[in-house]
């Protein structure tokens, strides 16, 4: 490691002020940033910790939606038991050490193509609230490691409409427990949303063909004849493009069956 300044503000306003300094970077749970710094792939002059900001912590429910503070850990999201798909997702991220340090805001800000929370946010049509504005999930995710966040913008909370039924299925890489493919299915009165993580070169995405089929018949039978184009899938030592495309279909089938 190298020398850097460490700032631990107690309010969003103070954090935004600290992040306005040149070379400053926000620190959530540090599960991505700290290893990146150790490898000398990032070298911020100042780390601005968000872990002591009370207004960015906790899970609450109102008006058919659940709101999660951006600094809320995965373990606390799982313990809140807000709705089935989200509880399963949060409770199976990484290992206990990761779940007790990593935060939902940090995960969404980083937008790793194999992260789990982006699938939950996109499948539920979440609203991602920052210190400056509200961003619809459909507009927030803009590609691998790319989001609508601007410099110095902090995710203060995430609001997800609670679905009538939901499920998250993850086929994980056993060493990292990241998703080789993850599928989140959420059923609402006005339609079904299916979000896929870990599979595409463009990051998390909605499988619109499956959504259309499931809107008319929320059962695994509805997607039996569907297939997904493998050309845009990730290919690496863990799996080919065709392998990941097949996993999307298999996991969507499992998620629908489990949620039905």
Phi, psi of 195 (to 5 degrees): -120, 140
- Give the C-alpha separation, 7 to 149, whole Å: 21
CATH code of the domain covering residue 189: 3.30.390.50
Give 158's contacts (C-beta < 8 A, 6+ positions apart): 67, 68, 70, 104, 105, 108, 121, 126, 127, 128, 129
Q: Are 78 and 87 in contact (CB under 8 A)?
A: yes
pLDDT higher than 80, residue 228: yes
- Give the C-alpha separation, 147 to 200, whole Å: 16
Residues 80 and 41 placed together within one structural domain of the fold: no
**Closest-CA residue to 124 (of 30, 192, 51):** 192
Angle at 45 (CA atoms; ends 41, 46), nearest 5 degrees: 115
From 102, 129, 161, give the residue that closes a domain. Answer: 161
pLDDT tens by residue, 102-125: 999 999 999 999 999 999 999 999
CATH code of the domain covering residue 142: 3.30.465.10
pLDDT tens by residue, 135-147: 999 999 999 999 9
pTM higher than 0.85, yes or no?
yes
Model confidence at 1, pLDDT cuts 50, 70, 90, reads low
Residues 17 and 92 placed together within one structural domain of the fold: no
pLDDT tens by residue, 158-188: 999 999 999 999 999 888 888 999 999 999 9
What integer is the mean pLDDT of 240-249?
Answer: 97
166, β-bridge pairs: 186
Per-residue model confidence (pLDDT) at position 45: 81
Model confidence at 3, pLDDT cuts 50, 70, 90, reads confident
CATH code of the domain covering residue 30: 3.30.43.10
Residues 156 and 181 placed together within one structural domain of the fold: no
Residues 194 and 134 placed together within one structural domain of the fold: no
Q: Which domain holds residue 231?
A: 165-259
Model confidence at 58, pLDDT cuts 50, 70, 90, reads very high
Per-residue model confidence (pLDDT) at position 35: 75
Model confidence at 24, pLDDT cuts 50, 70, 90, reads confident
Q: What is the percentage of the chain residues whose pLDDT exceeds 70?
A: 99
**Closest-CA residue to 119 (of 75, 79, 158):** 158
Phi, psi of 172 (to 5 degrees): -100, 150
Structure tokens at 158: 């995430």
Counted domains in the chain:
3
């Amino acid at each position: 490691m190298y020398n850097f300044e460490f700032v631990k503000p107690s309010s969003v306003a103070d954090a935004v002020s600290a992040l306005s300094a040149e070379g400053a970077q926000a620190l959530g749970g540090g599960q991505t940033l700290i290893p990146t710094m150790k490898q000398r792939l990032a070298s911020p002059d100042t780390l601005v910790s968000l872990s002591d900001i009370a207004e960015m912590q906790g899970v609450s429910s109102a008006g058919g939606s659940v709101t999660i503070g951006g600094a809320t850990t995965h373990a606390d999201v799982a313990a809140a038991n807000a709705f089935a798909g989200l509880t399963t997702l949060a409770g199976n991220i990484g290992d206990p050490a990761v779940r007790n340090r990593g935060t939902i805001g940090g995960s969404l800000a980083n937008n790793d193509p194999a992260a789990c929370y982006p699938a939950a946010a996109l499948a539920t049509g979440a609203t991602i609230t920052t210190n400056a504005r509200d961003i619809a999930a459909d507009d927030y995710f803009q590609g691998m490691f790319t989001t609508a966040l601007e410099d110095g913008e902090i995710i203060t909370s995430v609001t997800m409409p609670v679905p009538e039924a939901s499920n998250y299925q993850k086929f994980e890489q056993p060493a990292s427990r990241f998703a080789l493919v993850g599928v989140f299915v959420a059923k609402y009165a006005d339609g079904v949303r299916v979000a896929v993580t870990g599979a595409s070169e463009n990051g998390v995405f909605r499988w619109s063909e499956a959504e259309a089929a499931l809107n008319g018949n929320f059962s695994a039978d509805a997607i039996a004849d569907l297939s997904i184009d493998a050309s845009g899938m990730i290919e690496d030592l863990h799996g080919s493009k065709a392998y990941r495309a097949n996993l999307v279909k298999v996991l969507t089938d499992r998620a629908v069956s489990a949620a039905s």
